[in-house]
Amino acid sequence: MTTQNNNLTLKILIGVLGALLLILGIFTYKFYNEEKQNKAILQQEKDLIESELGELITKYDNAIALNEVMDDHLLKAKERIVVLLDSVKDNEANLALISRYRREVGKLKKERDRLFKLADSLTTANTQLSTDLDSTSVALNKRIIISDSLKTQNDKLAEIVERGSALTAANIKAEGVRVRNSGKITSTSKASRSEKVRVCFTLSPNKLTEKGDKDLFVQVINPANNLIGDKVSVNFDDGILTYSGRNKVYYENDALDVCVLVDASEGELVKGNYVVNLFSGPRLIQNTQFELK
User: Cα(197)–Cα(273) distance, rounded to whole angstroms?
Assistant: 13
Helix (H) or strand (E) segment spanning residue 288: strand 283-292
Quick check: 62 and 78 in contact, CB under 8 A? no
| Pairing outcome for strands 256-263 and 239-243 | unpaired
33/265: higher pLDDT: 265
Q: Which residues does residue 178 pair with via DSSP β-bridges, in sequence order? A: 186
Average of per-residue pLDDT across 194-214: 92
**pLDDT higher than threshold 50 for residue 160:** no
| pTM exceeding the 0.85 threshold for the entire prediction | no
Residue 51: pLDDT band (50, 70, 90) is confident
pLDDT in tens, 225-275: 999 999 999 999 878 999 999 999 999 999 999 999 999 988 899 999 999
State which H helix or E strand residue 277 sits in: strand 272-280
Residues in a beta bridge with 290? 274
* Contact of 231 with 220, CB cutoff 8 Å: no
Query: Which one-letter DSSP state was computed for residue 227?
Result: B
- Cβ atoms of residues 32 and 67 within 8 Å: no
Tell me the domains of the chain and their CATH numbers. Answer: 2-123 (no CATH), 169-292 (2.60.40.10)
